[in-house]
């Protein structure tokens, strides 16, 4: 009794884990978490949600539910699809969901009725078997058998996608880096270094259209080159499960800070949104925007006429040591500008600028599983919605002038009704569709 009790408990647990109700609950939970995550900052969502142990646990639980649900359906589906009962009595045919009694023409009162029904089924794409039954010859026709496995393939595709997502969450990372030609940055998660050999900007025929930037990269690990290539928008570099995407580009400006009183000069490289401290009293410039072809609207708003570097200007705001904005600063190429600070006058000169690229480095070892799962899922959905398994049975009582047609369909009731009408028309030698 104790053994049977344990077996019953195990069956109840397995029935719960493989239930559709649990699957629906998990899907709703996924939807709620995804909505919440979409409202968060991307990196925070990746680190605190998508890569958290509890989210991976939910995915594993959902994968287990799909697996058990699919395994429960394999045997019944295999029996339904691969071992049909091909011989049916006339009484059984009359009770089928779709039934027609077709009166045979006098010329077919011999064996012509069965032969005509078999030929009609073949004309409509059915695989036909003629079987000798207890009461005479029977016909079994079938098409769309692969449609029985659509739901199973759909479940399997979702399972593979979940596994790919779990692998990606456990092994993946996202790292941002970049710079000008000659710079390098470390990717500690992948234990490799990215060296930027060149950054080239290519203008479009229309200079108002954002130009394309191409970056030549060399990837090294422990001093050995492991990959190299050119990265641009929609042209990532992939290697060893890692992918480097071009994220955006920036202008890096070189500025000379000169003290007119002493003649002392300091060279600094700055980008947009950088802060540059210009004296010992705490005054600084917050650089806001680089304009390759600077101009102003009638209202005094700065903007760039296009992307051509015909009048480059680096714009910012001078702040005092108390953090109060004092005046705008517009540095033109090779044109010194003198500004007054709490420590005295400072001369600033924009001497040159370079193009810098910003990259996103990611790794997702689950990507092959995701692509495979997506392909299987699409195939499963196609079989579910585009392939309608249909079976038609035909039998004729001896010495009777009526052939009985019956059918069943896993899906596609309209298809089966139309096929029965067409078969009846072919047997009675009427025009199809009359």
Same domain, 257 and 339: yes
Judge whether 396 lies within some domain: yes
Q: What is the domain count for the chain?
A: 3
Q: What is the mean predicted confidence (pLDDT) over 165-173? A: 81
* 238 and 301, same domain (yes or no): no
Judged against a pLDDT cut of 60, whether residue 225 lies above it is answered with: yes
Distance between CA 35 and CA 267 in Å, rounded?
A: 48
Q: Are residues 312 and 404 in the same domain?
A: no
Q: Which CATH number characterizes residue 108's domain?
A: 3.30.160.110
Per the domain annotation, does 161 fall within a domain? Answer: no
Shared domain for 236 and 364, answered yes or no, is yes
Q: How confident is the model at residue 6 (pLDDT cuts 50, 70, 90)?
A: low
pLDDT of residue 431 exceeding 50: no
Percent of the chain exceeding pLDDT 90 equals: 41
- Residue 409 vs residue 182, higher pLDDT: 182
Q: Are residues 96 and 124 in the same domain?
A: yes
| Same-domain status, 346 and 266 | yes
Model pLDDT, residue 214 = 97
Q: What band does 203 get if pLDDT is binned at 50, 70 and 90?
A: very high
Report if residue 167 sits inside a domain: no
Positive or negative: CA dihedral 274, 277, 278, 284:
positive
pLDDT of amino acid 434: 35
119 found inside a domain: yes
**Stretch among 10-14, 83-87, 106-110 having the lowest mean pLDDT:** 106-110
Half-sphere exposure of residue 277: CA atoms within 13 angstroms, side-chain side? 7
Residue 104 has what pLDDT? 78
> For strand 173-179 and strand 184-187, is the pairing parallel, antiparallel, or unpaired?
unpaired
Same-domain pairing of 363 and 216? yes
Question: 123 pLDDT exceeds 60?
Answer: yes
Mean pLDDT of 78-90: 87
Tokens found for residue 197: 């050999």
Is 282 a domain residue? yes
Residue 202 confidence (pLDDT)? 94
- Confidence class of residue 196 from pLDDT cuts 50, 70 and 90? very high
Question: Strand 284-291 to strand 275-277: parallel, antiparallel, or no bridges (unpaired)?
Answer: antiparallel
Tokens coding 112: 């012509």
Pair (256, 351) in one structural domain:
yes
Token look-up 């009962």 returns 85
pLDDT tens readout for residues 281-302: 889 999 999 999 999 998 889 9
Find out whether 22 and 65 touch, Cβ atoms under 8 Å.
yes
Check pLDDT > 50 for residue 329. yes
Same domain, 345 and 293: yes
Domain assignment of residue 79, yes or no:
no
345 and 265 assigned to the same domain: yes
What is the model's pTM?
0.63
Q: Are residues 135 and 203 in the same domain?
A: no
Residue 2: pLDDT band (50, 70, 90) is: low
**Nearest alpha carbon to residue 330 among 301, 359, 354, 308:** 301
Residue 340, domain member (yes or no): yes
Task: Summarize the confidence of residues 216-239 as an average pLDDT.
Answer: 95
Across the chain, mean pLDDT equals 86
Name the residue range of residue 138's domain: 84-144+388-427
Residue 341: pLDDT over 70: yes
The length of the chain in residues reads 434
The torsion angles phi and psi of 181, rounded to 5 degrees, stand at: -60, 130
Which one has a higher pLDDT value, 361 or 51?
361
Are the beta carbons of 409 and 415 closer than 8 angstroms? yes
Examine the domain organization and report whether 272 and 192 are in the same domain. Answer: no
Strands 192-202 and 127-133: unpaired
The full 3-state SS of the chain, as one line of letters, equals: CHHHHHHHHHHHHHHHHCCHHHHHHHHHHHHHHHHHHHCCCHHHHHHHHHCCHHHHHHHHHHHHHHHHHHHHHHHHHHHHHHCCCCCCCHHHHHCCCEEEEEECCHHHCCCHHHHHHHHHHHHCCCEEEEEEECCEEEEEEEECHHHHHHHHHHHHHHHHHHHHHHHHHHHCEEEEEEECCCCEEEECCCCEEEEEEEEEEECCCCCCCCCEEEEEEEEEECCEEEEEEEEECCECEEECCEEEEEEEEEEEEEEEEECCCCCCEEEEEECCCCEEECCCCCCEEEEEEEECEEEECCCCCEEECCCCCCECEEEEEEECCCCCEEEEEEEEECECEEEEECCEEEEEEEEEEEEEEEEEEEECCCHHHHHHHHHHHHHHHHHHHHCCCEEEEEEECCCCCEEEEEEEECCCHHHHHHHHHHHHHHHCCCCCCC
Mean per-residue pLDDT, 7-19: 76
Query: In the structure, what pLDDT confidence band is assigned to residue 47 with cuts at 50, 70 and 90?
Result: confident
Question: Per-residue pLDDT for 109 more than 60?
Answer: no
Residue 180 lies in a domain: yes
Q: Which of 333, 356, 379 is the last residue of a domain?
A: 356
Q: Give the angle 145-150-153 at the CA atoms, nearest 5°.
A: 125
* Residue 340 confidence (pLDDT) above 70: yes
């Amino acid at each position: 009794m104790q053994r049977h009790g344990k077996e019953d408990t195990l069956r109840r647990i397995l029935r719960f884990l493989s239930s559709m109700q649990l699957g629906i609950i998990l899907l709703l939970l996924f939807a709620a978490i995804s909505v919440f995550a979409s409202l968060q900052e991307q990196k925070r969502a990746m680190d605190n949600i998508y890569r958290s142990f509890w989210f991976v646990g939910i995915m594993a639980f959902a994968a287990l539910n799909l697996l058990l649900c699919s395994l429960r359906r394999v045997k019944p589906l295999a029996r339904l699809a691969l071992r049909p009962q091909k011989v049916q009595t006339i009484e059984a045919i009359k009770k089928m969901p779709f039934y027609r009694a077709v009166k045979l023409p006098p010329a077919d009162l011999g064996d012509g009725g069965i032969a005509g029904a078999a030929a009609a089924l073949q004309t409509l794409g059915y695989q036909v078997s003629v079987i000798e039954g207890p009461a005479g010859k029977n016909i079994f026709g079938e098409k769309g058998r692969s449609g029985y496995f659509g739901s199973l393939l759909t479940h399997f595709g979702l399972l593979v996608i979940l596994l790919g997502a779990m692998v990606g969450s456990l092994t993946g990372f996202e790292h941002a880096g970049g710079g000008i030609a000659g710079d390098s940055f470390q990717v500690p998660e992948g234990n490799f270094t990215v060296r930027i050999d060149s950054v080239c900007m290519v203008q479009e025929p229309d200079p108002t259209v954002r130009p394309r930037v191409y970056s030549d990269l060399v990837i090294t690990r422990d001093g050995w080159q492991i990959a190299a290539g050119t990265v641009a928008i929609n042209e990532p570099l992939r290697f060893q499960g890692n992918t480097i995407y071009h994220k955006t580009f920036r202008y890096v400006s070189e500025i000379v800070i000169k003290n007119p009183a002493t003649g002392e000069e300091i060279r600094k490289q700055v980008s947009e949104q950088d802060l540059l401290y210009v004296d010992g009293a705490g005054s600084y410039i917050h650089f806001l925007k680089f304009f390759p072809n600077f101009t102003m609207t009638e209202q005094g708003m700065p903007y760039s006429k296009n992307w051509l570097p015909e009048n480059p200007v680096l714009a910012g705001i001078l702040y005092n040591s108390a953090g109060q904005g004092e005046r705008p600063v517009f540095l033109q190429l090779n044109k010194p500008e003198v500004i007054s600070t709490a420590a005295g006058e400072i001369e600033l000169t924009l001497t040159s600028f370079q193009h810098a690229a910003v990259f996103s480095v990611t790794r997702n070892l689950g990507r092959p599983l995701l692509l495979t799962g997506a392909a299987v899922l699409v195939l499963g959905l196609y079989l579910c919605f585009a392939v309608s398994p249909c079976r038609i049975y035909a039998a004729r009582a001896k010495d009777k002038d009526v052939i009985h047609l019956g059918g069943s369909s896993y899906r596609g009731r309209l298809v089966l009704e139309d096929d029965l009408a067409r078969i009846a028309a072919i047997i009675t030698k009427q025009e199809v569709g009359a």
